[in-house]
Structure 1
Amino acid sequence: MKLKHTLQAFATVALLTLAQAASAQVAVIVNHKSPLASMTPEQAAAIFLGKTSTLPSGQTAVPADLPESDKAREIFYSKAAGKSPAQVKATWARLTFSGKATPPKEVPTAADVKKHVAANPDAIGYIEKSAVDSTVKVVLTVE
């Protein structure tokens, strides 16, 4: 009987964790002074996958990427670009080797991404939506 209750408790915790992860929202952010008001997932993916180096507003894009281990990164690339972490890594390996593009600057934490974007008028990044504040502007939300 005790094992049954333990398994039920474990299953409940696992389901709650999955539900929370599934509902996580990632915000693509730009400097609060940027003229950019919104963008599509395709436009964001093009910047972070080296297809363009320009924001839709015409500004040069300076993308800031989270580390591969960050859940927000996985959500961003899977939802905005339709790519797995392995596919993103392969894309950048190919582009870097061919000299066609340079990968986005990897920033260690969401707080650092937000700080980088807030300090740079051309910066673009993504963080969990719950971490957004008035120092940056949300131009896209993916979930």
Structure 2
Amino acid sequence: MKKFLTLLTLSLGVASTAAAGVVVIGNTAAGDMSASDAKKAFLGKGDTSLVVYELDEGNATRAEFHSTVTGKSDAQLKAFWSKQVFTGKGNPPATVSSATAMKAAVASNPSAIGYIDEADVDGTVKVILKP
């Protein structure tokens, strides 16, 4: 039993360091962002001067981000954006396929925001929100 508990404790420690958590990123010149502003931006209701990027549907980081920040699942997001497009109220953000592509897109535009796992952050982008 002691060996089992020791292994369980060690595995939980490894699992918690494997993923640092999702963060909202901006260009290195960007200012900080509130959780409320991030939610609005990623649902097309915020600052219209922002260029918002999403990871592709089905991405685990995307699911974690939306669960934490917007409170929506992939299915709910799909339904939300379908309604927005149908009613002419908005279009979904552009998507990128990876953290590397997200960093490149955000780094190249001072008005761009996106999200990645905190472990993927480097000097090309700035963390503007840790939800």
> Please, what TM-score do these two structures have when normalized by structure 2?
0.84
| 1:65 and 2:59 aligned | no
Asked if 1:127 is matched to 2:116, the reply is yes
Amino acid at match of 2:28: H
Shift of 1:23: 5.6
1:107 to 1:125, Cα distance in 2 relative to 1, 3 A: same
In structure 2, runs of 5+ residues without a counterpart are: none
Equivalent in the alignment of 1:30: 26
Amino acid at match of 2:87: S
Secondary structure at 2:130 match in 1: strand
- What amino acid is the match of 2:46? T
Specify the alignment match of 1:90 in structure 2.
Answer: 79
User: CA separation in 1, counterparts of 2:22 and 2:16?
Assistant: 13
Task: Please give the alpha-carbon distance, in whole angstroms, between the structure 1 residues aligned to 2:19 and 2:25.
Answer: 19
2:103 maps to 1:107: no
- The reply on whether 1:44 has 2:38 as its aligned counterpart is yes
Q: Following TM superposition, by how much is the alpha carbon of 1:133 offset from its aligned partner in structure 2, in angstroms?
A: 0.8
Task: Give the match for residue 4 of structure 1.
Answer: none
Equivalent-residue separation in structure 1 for 2:36 and 2:67 (angstroms): 12
The alignment's C-alpha RMSD in Å is 2.6
Once the two structures are TM-superposed, the CA of residue 130 in structure 1 deviates from its matched residue by 0.5
CA distance in 2, matches of 1:23, 1:113: 17
Identity of aligned residues (%): 43
Deviations 1:6-48 (A, max 9, x none): xx7xx95xx649x4499641110010022x2x22222111111
Aligned to 1:75: 64
For the residue of structure 2 that corresponds to 1:74, the secondary structure is helix
**Residues of 2 paired with 1:21 and 1:43: CA distance?**
28
Q: Which has the larger radius of gyration?
A: 1
Change (3 A) 1:114 1:23: closer
Q: Distance in 1 between matches of 2:99 and 2:20?
A: 14
**SS, match of residue 139 in structure 1:** strand
Distance 1:90 1:16 in 2: 35
- Normalising to structure 1: TM-score of the pair? 0.77
